[in-house]
Amino acid sequence: MSRLRFAGVEAASSELTAAGYLPSREIAAAVYLADALEKPLLIEGPAGVGKTDLAKATALALGRPLIRLQCYEGLDESRALFEWEYGKQLLYTQLLRPALEPLLSSAADLTEAVARLASQDSALFDQRFLLERPLLRALRSDPPALLLIDEVDRADPEFEALLLEILSDYQVSIPELGTVRAVHKPRVMLTTNGTREMTDALRRRCLYLYIDYPEPSRELAILRQHVPQAGSQLAQQIVDFIGRVRKLDLHKTPSISESVDWARTLTLLNADVLNPDFVRETLAALTKHKSDHDTVNDALDTLLER
């Protein structure tokens, strides 16, 4: 069931926690304010720090269906907003050809015939032929939805222009139908890994939240939530070790998702403490590039000694 609002920052924090996400005070405050002000929330940070998970947890906490648009290079209006089901329109045209013949046969000339045919456009460009994509589906959703525009920095800069009307007025213009306004204002969250700079026009329409790698105490709490079978000593050693690894010059720094995966991997091997053998056997869960694997492996003795 959809709730109207988070009651406050503390309520947002507790409800996000109940939905499986452990927020910092700053994260809970940003989510509460975005909800209370009905403003989109632009969430920036390294890959794997929980940006998408925050959107999922917020949707669950508010009782809203999650509608997700995964962005990629070349994403356009037909994949993000809507498109007409041309095959179905063509089929209807062929089936209804006998009904059109009297209308066209009495036309005095080609110009009049075209005008008469054009007068029937509203029958073909009707809601029944409209294929909703995530952006339009979020505007027309009943019940109210949460729209996640994931990894918006992967889309072309021109795509942001398509978002501006939706993010500011919660409406979109469709030439054949006119302006379509939101049935209910969706909550909107956009995530970016910072691979390119977002335009000022987009940033101006959003509240902003930066999520970095968590402090050790919060990361330990996340591990205990997601991998409760890991012993307290092992969990603490994992957090300390990954904190040191993040200071190395790596191609991809281990994120929270790698921390959780590594903890699960170690528990499957019945590890109760970190030792060189366990670390070497499981580096595939922690590092994602050969150069990173070699860097961590070469520094292993020093990392464990500390």
Examine the pLDDT at 137 and tell me if it is beyond 80: yes
Which residue type, as a one-letter code, is found at position 197? Answer: E
- Decide which of 160 and 128 is more confident: 160
pLDDT band at 78; cut points 50, 70, 90: confident
Examine the pLDDT at 178 and tell me if it is beyond 90: no
**What mean pLDDT comes out for the span 143-165?**
93
Query: What is the percent of the chain where pLDDT is above 90?
Result: 72
Examine the pLDDT at 143 and tell me if it is beyond 90: yes
What does the angle CA 96 – CA 118 – CA 124 come to, to the nearest 5 degrees?
50
From 5, 30, 39, select the one nearest 188 (Cα to Cα). Answer: 39
- Decide which of 104 and 69 is more confident: 69
Both tokens of 16, joined, read 């996000």
User: Which of 73-87, 184-198, 230-244, 268-282 has the least mean pLDDT?
Assistant: 73-87
Mean pLDDT of the chain: 88
